[in-house]
Amino acid sequence: MFVFPGRLLSFAASRSDLATLSSRCSGRASRGRAADRRTPRRKASSRSPPLRSGSRMANKFDGITIVTGHAFNDESLNDHNLHHLPDINPQRIYMDYNATTPLEPQVMQAVSEALQDAWGNPSSNHIAGATARAIINQSRQSVARMVGGKPEDIIFTSGGTEANNLVLHTAVEYFRKSCGAAEQGEGLQNGCHSLPHIITSNVEHDSIKRVALHLQKEGKADVTFVPVSRVSGRVEVEDIIAAVRPATCLISVMLANNETGVIMPLQEICQRVKFLNKQRERLRILVHTDAAQALGKIPVDVQELGVDYLTIVGHKFYAPRIGALFVNGPGSRTPLHPMLFGGGQERNFRPGTENTPMIAGLGKASELVTLNLSEYSSHMQSIKLYLEEQMESVFRDKIRFNNRFPGSDILPNTTNMSILGPRLQGWRVLSTCRRLLASVGAACHSASGHRPSHILLSCGVPSEVAGNALRVSVGRGTTKAEVDAVVEDLRETVQLLEEMN
């Protein structure tokens, strides 16, 4: 079976469903292949790089990116494995760009050149080390420029999960050291007789949520999970401020949600926290945002936001799977306490020999975002709107958009929608689709089975609607031809599933 990022293609339909599906799909597949043979081929666009993974191959077909070739087995699916699959057309259209993105050709080139030419240890004093070190320094500048920071504010990490863990670890250590200084007579600190208090939202990525829960379970911190509004779909500033206590040391709120695309009011939160901090004797409230879903889609400027920390995740904006953490003056203006200890790389904040090729790729991808963000954003917005218009045209009163909230801004590439019907659960629709590759929710929640997304439920989406949700996220090179093919695929799939009923 195909296994792609996100909660895709679980194929957990009943045996009776599969038997019906197999008998009906053989006719569909034959018709689809005949139609495909009549469609002229076009040269692949440079704006939509082919997807490649192992022996899986990709090309362009009538303006549509398709994935062909390799069927992967995932033993972790266990009960969901099938002994027989229907003859499904293997041509796939990827619309799961919130889960991960392919590498841009220029990014691949930067990685390849670094592998060939910059293999030296960046800490070495000879020319091989200097070559690698120069690439890392250039990439640091490019990443900083993308988010409006300074090169010295960028710490490279293995990815977003490490960066988020580093921030929460720092907050707890910062609280401990601040209270220790107060107890030594440097000033009485309100809240020091309590555990460090962390505020976050109830729709965060698991790399924030699970760390916070772990700290709470281990008795190392108190955590308040502020619910998002059922009206706006975002966490409200007043609710965040109302949760502040004397022992509050960190507020962490994502910049944009990965399932709904709702953009959170970080600038307003930071403005209110800045006012609160002026009234505090010693323990400053630090503000962090996970910008994984925002970068490469909307403008992100740390100075305008006013955050102390910002998480950067490369594979969300056509870079390799590597990350970085912006820290506003690490170790001086803003505390940063390492989780690892070693050779002193990254100014001792994140030791370990640097992964030069992946850092080079992150730097190149950051350059592309800085140069082309307006074009990327407007194209994705146009394609998303076209997708929603076509879905409304085909499904009419059966379509429900789950991320349309009055007064809230949404990422330009993200649509969360449900096709209403008793047999049209998101997982069932996606596992029946011949072409669409999308998700029912965040890839990090894929272990939750077929339960409705807790994020949609938190936003006030009814359970029966949330259970049918499809998260469709378009990319820089997604075309209207791809949208047309996907909408037709969904139309055929819905008709097929309804006939099974």
CA distance 177 to 194: 14
Cα torsion 94, 100, 105, 106: sign:
positive
CB 391 within 8 A of CB 399: yes
Q: Are strands 197-201 and 248-252 parallel, antiparallel or unpaired?
A: parallel
Asked whether 315 and 100 are in contact (CB, 8 A), the reply is yes
CA distance 169 to 148: 25
Contact 453, 470 (CB under 8 A): no
Residue 274 phi, psi dihedral angles, 5° rounding: -60, -40
E strands in 70-133: 93-94
386 within 8 A of 480, measured Cβ to Cβ: yes
- 192 catalytic? Reply is no
Question: Distance between CA atoms of 83 and 137, rounded to whole angstroms?
Answer: 52
Cβ atoms of residues 260 and 410 within 8 Å? yes
Question: In the structure encoding, which two tokens stand for residue 35, read together?
Answer: 């139609």
The 10 Å Cβ neighbour count of residue 218 is: 8
Catalytic residue among 179, 192, 270, 444: 444
Length in residues, the chain: 501
In contact, 352 and 340? CB cutoff 8 Å: yes
Taking the C-alpha atoms of residue 93 and residue 63, their distance in angstroms, rounded to an integer, is 11
Distance CA 365, CA 146 (A): 10
Task: Show which residues are catalytic.
Answer: 444
